Amino acid sequence: MSENHVIARVSGDLLEEDIELTLSELCRACRLPADRVLELVEEGVVDPLGRDPARWRFSAVSIRRVRCAQRLERDLGVNAAGAALALELLEEMERLRARLHSLQQ
Protein backbone atom coordinates (compact mmCIF):
# COMPACT_ATOMS: atom_id res chain seq x y z
CA MET A 1 0.00 0.00 0.00
CA SER A 2 1.43 3.36 -0.98
CA GLU A 3 2.05 6.10 1.58
CA ASN A 4 -0.42 8.43 -0.16
CA HIS A 5 -3.11 5.75 0.02
CA VAL A 6 -2.51 5.26 3.75
CA ILE A 7 -2.71 9.01 4.42
CA ALA A 8 -5.93 9.26 2.42
CA ARG A 9 -7.47 6.42 4.44
CA VAL A 10 -6.73 8.02 7.81
CA SER A 11 -7.04 11.72 7.08
CA GLY A 12 -10.82 11.88 7.54
CA ASP A 13 -12.80 11.74 10.74
CA LEU A 14 -13.08 7.96 10.66
CA LEU A 15 -9.83 6.20 11.46
CA GLU A 16 -9.17 2.59 10.71
CA GLU A 17 -7.66 1.39 13.95
CA ASP A 18 -5.68 -1.44 12.38
CA ILE A 19 -3.62 0.94 10.23
CA GLU A 20 -0.07 1.61 11.35
CA LEU A 21 1.78 4.73 10.27
CA THR A 22 5.46 5.46 9.97
CA LEU A 23 6.90 8.60 11.52
CA SER A 24 6.91 10.21 8.08
CA GLU A 25 3.25 9.33 7.47
CA LEU A 26 2.20 10.68 10.87
CA CYS A 27 4.12 13.90 10.18
CA ARG A 28 2.38 14.31 6.84
CA ALA A 29 -1.07 13.52 8.24
CA CYS A 30 -0.66 16.07 11.05
CA ARG A 31 1.39 18.58 9.04
CA LEU A 32 4.20 18.59 11.59
CA PRO A 33 7.97 18.27 11.33
CA ALA A 34 9.53 15.11 12.73
CA ASP A 35 11.24 16.94 15.59
CA ARG A 36 7.83 18.15 16.82
CA VAL A 37 6.44 14.60 16.75
CA LEU A 38 9.55 13.45 18.63
CA GLU A 39 8.77 16.02 21.33
CA LEU A 40 5.20 14.72 21.55
CA VAL A 41 6.53 11.17 21.91
CA GLU A 42 8.88 12.28 24.70
CA GLU A 43 5.97 13.92 26.55
CA GLY A 44 3.73 10.87 26.16
CA VAL A 45 1.17 12.34 23.79
CA VAL A 46 1.70 9.37 21.47
CA ASP A 47 3.40 6.03 22.00
CA PRO A 48 5.18 4.52 19.01
CA LEU A 49 5.71 0.82 18.59
CA GLY A 50 9.38 -0.05 18.33
CA ARG A 51 12.61 1.37 19.72
CA ASP A 52 14.32 2.93 16.72
CA PRO A 53 12.61 6.11 15.42
CA ALA A 54 13.44 5.02 11.87
CA ARG A 55 11.27 1.94 12.42
CA TRP A 56 8.57 3.41 14.64
CA ARG A 57 4.96 2.59 13.89
CA PHE A 58 2.03 4.63 15.19
CA SER A 59 -1.59 3.56 15.44
CA ALA A 60 -4.09 5.61 13.48
CA VAL A 61 -5.41 6.90 16.83
CA SER A 62 -2.12 8.79 17.11
CA ILE A 63 -3.40 11.22 14.49
CA ARG A 64 -6.36 12.11 16.68
CA ARG A 65 -4.14 12.49 19.76
CA VAL A 66 -1.59 14.70 17.97
CA ARG A 67 -4.29 16.90 16.46
CA CYS A 68 -6.00 17.23 19.84
CA ALA A 69 -2.66 18.16 21.44
CA GLN A 70 -2.16 20.79 18.74
CA ARG A 71 -5.60 22.29 19.50
CA LEU A 72 -4.94 22.29 23.25
CA GLU A 73 -1.63 24.06 22.71
CA ARG A 74 -3.04 26.56 20.24
CA ASP A 75 -6.37 27.31 21.96
CA LEU A 76 -5.42 27.00 25.63
CA GLY A 77 -1.70 27.73 25.54
CA VAL A 78 -0.69 24.49 27.26
CA ASN A 79 2.69 22.93 26.57
CA ALA A 80 3.24 19.38 25.30
CA ALA A 81 3.35 17.93 28.83
CA GLY A 82 0.10 19.67 29.69
CA ALA A 83 -1.49 18.39 26.49
CA ALA A 84 -0.43 14.83 27.36
CA LEU A 85 -2.02 15.15 30.79
CA ALA A 86 -5.19 16.69 29.37
CA LEU A 87 -5.46 13.86 26.82
CA GLU A 88 -5.14 11.25 29.57
CA LEU A 89 -7.85 12.96 31.62
CA LEU A 90 -10.16 13.32 28.59
CA GLU A 91 -9.73 9.64 27.75
CA GLU A 92 -10.43 8.66 31.35
CA MET A 93 -13.62 10.73 31.28
CA GLU A 94 -14.61 8.99 28.06
CA ARG A 95 -14.06 5.55 29.65
CA LEU A 96 -16.05 6.53 32.74
CA ARG A 97 -18.91 7.88 30.66
CA ALA A 98 -19.01 4.67 28.62
CA ARG A 99 -19.02 2.60 31.82
CA LEU A 100 -21.78 4.73 33.35
CA HIS A 101 -23.81 4.43 30.17
CA SER A 102 -23.46 0.63 30.18
CA LEU A 103 -24.51 0.49 33.87
CA GLN A 104 -27.59 2.60 33.12
CA GLN A 105 -28.72 0.24 30.38
- Decide if pLDDT at 58 tops 70: yes
Tell me how many domains the chain contains.
1
Query: Mean pLDDT of all residues in the chain?
Result: 87
CA distance 48 to 38: 10
4-25 per-position pLDDT tens digit:
545 444 544 445 567 899 999 9
Give per-residue burial for 12-41: e unless 16+ CB within 10 Å, then b. eeebeeebbbbbebbbbbbebeeeebbebb
Global pTM?
0.78
Q: Which of 6-10, 31-35, 37-41 has the lowest mean pLDDT?
A: 6-10
Average pLDDT over residues 44-55: 92
Nearest alpha-carbon partner for 66 in 29, 14, 20: 29
pLDDT at 13: 47
CATH number of the domain within which 39 lies: 1.10.1660.10
Confidence bin at 42 (pLDDT 50/70/90): very high
Domain range for 67 is 3-104
- Tell me, what DSSP letter sits at residue 46? -
pLDDT at 53: 85
